[in-house]
Amino acid sequence: MRLLLDKSVGCLVGAAVGDALGGATETALPEEIRNRYGGWVEGIVPPFHENWATNRPLAPYHKGDGHITDDTLMTHALVRAYAKKRDHLDAFDVVELLVPDLIEREVYIPDLEREAVAFHRLAAAERWLVTRLHHAHADPREAGVGNIVNCGAAMYMAPVGIVNAGDPAGAYAEAVEVGGAHQHSYGREAAAVFAAAVAAAMTPGAVVGEVVEAALDVARDGTGEAIAAVVQVAKEYADTRAAIPALRAAVAPYDTVGEDYRNPGLGARRPSRLHSIEELPVALGMLVVANGEYRDAVLGAVNYGRDSDSTATMAGAIAGALGGSPAVPAEWASTVATASRTDLAEPGRVLADVAAEVYAADKARFARRAERYEGLR
């Protein structure tokens, strides 16, 4: 139980810290990041725009200065859903547990610097959850169809991996079910593969190569091909900063957004079996280059730019699960927790207890099945 707790806390603190660091550089390109900060970003930095409240495209959000974003708000909301059910989740639980949390529970929103319901911080693809499930009463298992295809579901699926610790296939299946209420196509696929990667990273003694192998075992279509392409290139590098152009080139054929990140074309974020979100393959690539080391993997994602908060969230979650809470630099975790007015460790503690209860229930369920099956022999 002690290792489960350590890895659960490491995973969710690691995800939140990655989110906060990556928020400052979101939408920028690597050369723009270096010009703005006078070199590579090495830790928590101020917002990319000094006039962040009015400068598009990030206005009115105060990203930077250690503020977590919607990635972490959604992750913590999913933890609370697990804490209420204390068992595996399905698409109907998204309606009954997650959506009410987003529209009724007041939380502190760091990059808005005020308390509000989390719904007011969500982007269009995440508000889809409320529109389709709360207002349109869509079938939860099909509600994600028609949404903008992006990393919106993947960015908060780490809790599914923790609850299914050591069982990547189980995490994949549960995330397909949960993510279907929010996303479709390669957005849903990425959410499931990310959950599987976290479940693999939660395994005692796991290393990054085993995490990648687990992800590739379950990944389908363009998502699997993108991960394989990026990881193959990543193996040729030992410095995450030097690897940035090569990782971008490797994922580019699968990414629909294109090189002009702030102005994607008409083909962007449309469903396809041939494509992939960018964030998960790059996060895994950074982990391979960094050999699973938290600081290098997260900083690689931060300096990569584009959707850097989500890429760093995913890299941080997996690295934190691999190395446990000591893997996350204490000074970063403390600064982010203070700046965000959020206890970053408590969700990990809560989820470790839930994961233990779910495992005990799974054992009992399997024992009943085994007894019944033996009667068939």
How far does the chain reach from its first CA to its final CA, in angstroms? 36
Q: What is the DSSP string of 69-86?
A: -HHHHHHHHHHHHHHHH-
Q: Per-residue pLDDT for 56 more than 90?
A: no
Which of 225, 243, 236 has the alpha carbon at shortest distance from 315? 243
Q: What is the pLDDT of residues 314-352, one digit of tens each?
A: 999 999 999 999 999 999 999 999 999 999 999 999 999
pLDDT of the residue at 198:
99
pLDDT of the residue at 184:
98
Distance CA 85, CA 164 (A): 15
pLDDT of the residue at 264:
94
- Print the domain residue range for 72: 2-374
The model's pTM is 0.98
Q: Per-residue pLDDT for 101 more than 90?
A: yes
For position 144, which CATH number holds? 1.10.4080.10
pLDDT of the residue at 1:
75
Looking at residues 191-210, what average pLDDT do you find? 98
pLDDT of the residue at 377:
87
Q: Per-residue pLDDT for 127 more than 90?
A: yes
Please give the mean pLDDT across all residues of the chain. Answer: 97
% of the chain beyond a pLDDT of 70? 100
Distance CA 264, CA 256 (A): 8
Distance CA 335, CA 355 (A): 28
Q: What is the pLDDT of residues 257-301, one digit of tens each?
A: 999 999 999 999 999 999 999 999 999 999 999 999 999 999 999
Q: Per-residue pLDDT for 106 more than 90?
A: yes
Cβ neighbours of 341 (radius 10 Å)? 14
pLDDT of the residue at 118:
97
Q: What is the pLDDT of residues 13-31, one digit of tens each?
A: 999 999 999 999 999 999 9
Number of domains in the chain: 1
Phi, psi (5° rounding) for residue 271? -65, 145
